A and B are shown apart, each in its own frame.
Chain A
Amino acid sequence: MPVSARGPLDRRRFLAASAGVALATAALPGCAASVDSGSGSGGGGKTLTVMTLVDEWDAKTKRSIEKMLDVTLRIITYDVTKLNAMLASKNPPDVVRGIGATDAPYFAARGLMTDLDPYFAKSEVLKVSDLASANDVWRFDGEKQGTGPRYGLAKDYSQDSMFWYRTDMFEEAGLELPSDTEPLSMDEWLDLGERLTRRRLGKVKVYGLNATGMGVFSQLMWMTASAGGSVFADDMASVDFSSPEALKAIQWYARYAKADIGPSLLNPNPDGWDGPTYQASRMAMSCSGFWFGGVIAAEPKLTEVSRFAPAPQLGGHRVSPCFGGTGFWMPKDAQNKEAAWKLFEWYFAGQPAKDRAAAGWGLPSLDSLRASMPKENAFQKQAYAVQEQEAAYFSVLPVSPYAQTDALNGVLSKVLPDAIRSGTKPGKIADALNSRMNEQLARGKELVG
């Protein structure tokens, strides 16, 4: 069933942001005390419109931003529907929240984003040399994601195919803990998941493994890549799930979903993400990036028993991608770009960025901030060490500008459940996916030109 798309994923991505932000807002230099003007009367007369989460900044922070940038700040709640309507009427916000990995190619190819390179060139604060490589998800060269001009910045990121596990559950099941340095094979991972699952009356009480971090499409891309293949063709205008590598990925997912050892398209998680289930001690392994450490750190009991592990691999080609890279971008038709850039400088390099890094909700997008990552207790030290090793295997897995990833996830959630339940052969599943997705991609290509 279609559980993939917007709702749960958005929540999931948004979460990586929100807690860190909540912490960050408190720390803006305390110039707010003297200002009591409401947000409607900020100085300068110019308005800076930001489309982001409704609770991105509290009232006090908003006032200090207004004072700092000499603008009136207007916050619009992030909503794709509204964003599209605003972009279409050529009256977009000045700053928009977005998910680099999936949004950048789509909007950039349609000429809707501002090229930030000139701003970097003259900035004293944000230097390209200091940007973590994950920021490359925000680059697009006209055809492909990962190179070319920068269209946005990540506020933090994770390598989303890594996973967290519960040492107590491993011990209880008499299993050896995963290595901190050597990735598991996908088969080993699945096997561990089966052994860690506990049932009562046939009903799952403790899930062994949630293998899907950021949507099934991303997961298939990652598995195919680690097997040495690619889901997208070179020109990004078509997909091919019939390659041996992609077939292997489909096969693995079908086995995982059928095993009923964790949330999947066949048995979606009503929460939309792993947090509550993991906290309730009902999940042994969760495929979630570094940001999930923020959830764990909030509960002392969890910090004792949670550890971090490298991204498992389907084949010999070790990759550990980022499917988020949530941050901000500027629409091409933005009215107030200078102020928007000043907001970028403060938000991505100023105190908020330092606080985010220290809070552990994701990795800092500036390498210079890595030093402030949390390393207080054992679990944070272990996670930090594993993360340091894993960084070498980061690479951008480009998505197509011709279709939104959510739409492709929509196809998966239409095709896979029935196909998996009825035991359809992977080759046939691949054919169905190819024809449906390629139809969408062709339409998009025609529109983009």
Chain B
Amino acid sequence: MSTEQLTGPDATPDAPSPARPAGGEPGGRRAPRHGSQQARRAGAFYVFAGPWVLGFLGLTVFPLGYALWLSFTNSDGLSPNARFVGLANYREVFADPDTLASFARTGLFAAITVPLTIVAGLVLAVLLNQPIRARGLFRTLLYLPAVVPPVGAALTFKLIFDRDSGSANGVLDLLGVNGLTWLGDPYARYVLIMLTVWGCGNVMIISLAGLQDIPGELLDAARVDGASQWQSFTRIVLPLLSPVLFFQVVTQLIMTLQTFVPLLISLDPSPKGVSAVPDSNYLIMIDVFSQFFANGRYGYASALLWVLFLFIMLVTLLVFRLSKGAVFYSVDPEQAKPKTRTIGDN
């Protein structure tokens, strides 16, 4: 993440600079007080930022460091003879066909669900942005699935796709087709995709907010110039929406790479049940859990975790790099106005 760009302008606004007109007060009296105030403010900053820094060190850096240390051992957490094995675990990550397959599977899953979710959300947002009645009602109802907690959503889909009692096989039965074992291989992947796309309401809301930020005059002007609906959508709306969509791509991607929802729709959703997740949903996070809790391979699992961590960082960086120029973030505190939005309520 381009932190320089973000922090750059930050130094200026509230630097307690001597350049600030010191009112009518005599400088001699003001100066010493100012100095001590600055010191106090510095102290105060550490008081205010301290908890986060401590938390960051204790709850992020330390666990990650512990995992890094584990990743160089063959520890299983229990056995007496654990020892350092150098890079053996990392070598295995890149040689183990199962692990490589779960990476590939996760990539494919992301390549399918991220665009699908974003397109679905965007289409709904565009529909809602039309001059229609009961927009608020539509928006609320369409957003409902996204409010459902993951466990609730997963259980709902488990019931729909149950082999014997689910409505999905009920429909197939009506059509005279044999029921499928939806939650097993190879169909479980489709259930997972549907479950993920079902939560497209977030993208919808965010895109809708973005759409409503687009000045109407711009679109009116385009219409006057004879642009078609499609043209003004692709030439004006999409580019203006690009930062919003881009941010969605990044967050969705990161979420997808670490999804463990397959566990929730499998037979036994507790952490030790990971090895019962069907092959077609054996995503990388499932593999990590399985190596930790079903196979007890702390060392190897930690290596996997680190590879995944670096991979996510890399992807994030890459996405930001690729989008450079296309998307501009303004976080200059002086420019960024807190937006209190009211989104098309009527």
Contact = CB atoms under 8 A, between A and B. Distances in A.
Interface of A: 1-8, 10-11, 79-81, 84-85, 87-88, 110-112, 201-203, 267-268, 270, 272, 404, 406-407, 409-410, 413-414, 417, 440, 443-444, 446-449
Contact of A81 (B80, B266, B271): B271
A411 to B, nearest CB: 10
B309 to A, nearest CB: 21
Contact of A1 (B74, B163, B185, B293): B185
Contacts of A409: 275
A1 B278 contact: yes
B276 interface: yes
A7 B162 contact: no
Secondary structure at chain A's binding surface: helix, strand, loop or mixed?
A: helix
Contacts of A203: 178-179
Report the 7 A-B pairs with minimum CB-CB distance, sorted nearest first.
A7-B268, A447-B79, A5-B275, A1-B185, A7-B273, A88-B77, A449-B81
B271 to A, nearest CB: 5
B275 A80 contact: no
Contacts of A446: 74, 81
B78 A6 contact: no
Given A8-B268, A81-B272, A111 B80 contact: yes
B276 A8 contact: yes
B276 A6 contact: yes
B184 A1 contact: yes
Contact of A406 (B183, B275, B297): B275
A84 B276 contact: no
Scoring A3, A201, A444 by chain B CB atoms within 10 A of each residue's CB, the highest score goes to A3
Given A2-B276, A7-B273, A268 B80 contact: no
A444 B276 CA distance: 22
Given A1-B185, A4-B276, A270-B163, A112 B78 contact: yes
A102 to B, nearest CB: 13
Contacts of B98: 414
A287 to B, nearest CB: 19
8 contacts: A1-B184, A4-B276, A84-B77, A201-B178, A268-B184, A270-B183, A406-B275, A447-B79
Contacts of B270: 7, 79, 81
B12 interface: no
Given A404-B296, A407-B295, A447 B184 contact: no
B245 interface: no
A3 B294 contact: no
A194 B300 CA distance: 44
Nearest to B293: A81
B267 interface: yes
Interface string B76-90: 111111100000000
Contacts of A87: 78
A329 B8 CA distance: 62
Contacts of A1: 184-185, 278-280
Contacts of A417: 185, 279
B200 interface: no
B293 A80 contact: yes
B272 A410 contact: no
B255 to A, nearest CB: 24
A340 B273 CA distance: 29
Given A6-B276, A270-B162, A447 B81 contact: yes
Interface in B267-291: 267-268, 270-273, 275-280, 282, 290
B267 A3 contact: yes
Given A6-B268, A268-B181, 9 more contacts: A1-B184, A2-B276, A6-B272, A7-B267, A7-B273, A87-B78, A112-B78, A407-B294, A446-B74
Contacts of A440: 295
Nearest to B300: A443
A421 to B, nearest CB: 10
Contacts of B290: 410
A8 B179 contact: no
A112 B282 CA distance: 32
B10 interface: no
A404 B77 CA distance: 14
B164 interface: yes
B279 A414 contact: yes
Nearest to A3: B276
Residue with the greatest number of chain A CB neighbours at <10 A, chosen from B74, B81, B82: B81
Contact of A2 (B178, B278, B296, B297): B278
Contacts of B275: 2, 4-6, 406-407, 409-410, 413
Contacts of A272: 267-268
Contacts of B179: 203
Most A CB within 10 A of own CB, among B77, B268, B271, B282: B268
B20 to A, nearest CB: 57
A1, A81, A112, A202 pick with most chain B CB within 10 angstroms: A1
Contacts of B178: 201-203
B272 A447 contact: no
A2 B277 contact: yes
